[in-house]
């Protein structure tokens, strides 16, 4: 199995299930690791030896929000150096939050689609982009 997991952070258990189902149907080689808020995700990122393939996070969650998680990653020299692509997938999308999110050097912000099929297509596009994209940590993988 691929050793570069996709990290999914969202407080909604139904979204966890849909995400896992979509990735299974897309037959991607990446294991999936899910969290309900940013703090356990940050703890995982600080302790794992793996470099995740991608982080997809909701913005609004109880506990540590997605914005706070991204701030913590940016402020940690070891995590920042891992160059993990970070995108938000959220609903609703509000303009002030979009501006705040992009100030945190994210690589994308997407509004969650309203149907499972559209959501799966959206995920496939995001993952396909990062599969083809060259960035510092992929050169050695």
Encode pLDDT of 65-112 as tens digits. 999 999 999 999 999 999 999 999 998 898 888 999 999 989 999 999
Q: Is 42 a domain residue?
A: yes
pLDDT of residue 92: 86
Asked if residue 141 is part of any domain, the answer here is no
Helix-then-strand count for the chain, H and E = 6, 5
Is 1 a domain residue? no
What is the average per-residue pLDDT within 55-59?
A: 96
CATH number for the domain spanning 83: value is 3.40.50.2300
> Residue 48: what are its φ and ψ, rounded to 5°?
-75, 150
pLDDT computed for residue 137 by the predictor: 61
Determine the structural domain holding residue 103 and report its residue range: 6-132
Q: Is residue 137 part of a domain?
A: no
Residue 140 domain-assigned (yes or no): no
How sure is the predictor about 3, in pLDDT bands with cuts at 50, 70 and 90? Answer: confident
Maximum C-alpha span of the chain = 40
Q: Give the pair of three-digit tokens for residue 90.
A: 């959220």
Please answer whether residues 117 and 87 qualify as being in contact, where contact means their C-beta atoms are separated by less than 8 angstroms.
no
- Integer-rounded Cα Rg, in Å, for the chain is 14
Q: Is the dihedral of CA 47, 49, 50, 51 positive or negative?
A: positive
**pLDDT band at residue 135 using 50, 70 and 90 as cut-offs:** confident
Question: Do the domain assignments include residue 94?
Answer: yes
pTM comes to 0.91
Mean pLDDT of 31-48: 95
CA distance 21 to 68: 27
Any idea what DSSP says for residue 105? T
């Amino acid at each position: 199995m691929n050793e570069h997991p996709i990290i999914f952070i969202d407080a909604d258990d139904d979204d966890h299930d849909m995400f896992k189902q979509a990735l299974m149907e897309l037959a991607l080689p990446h294991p999936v690791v899910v969290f309900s808020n940013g703090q356990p995700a940050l703890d995982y990122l600080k302790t794992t030896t793996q470099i995740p393939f991608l982080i997809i996070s909701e913005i609004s969650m109880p506990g540590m929000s997605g914005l706070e998680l991204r701030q913590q990653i940016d402020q940690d020299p070891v995590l920042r150096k891992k160059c993990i692509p970070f995108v938000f997938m959220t609903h609703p999308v509000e303009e002030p939050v979009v501006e705040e999110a992009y100030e945190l050097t994210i690589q994308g912000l997407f509004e969650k689609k309203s149907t499972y099929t559209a959501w799966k297509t959206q995920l496939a596009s995001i993952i396909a982009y990062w599969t083809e994209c060259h960035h510092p940590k992929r050169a050695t993988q």
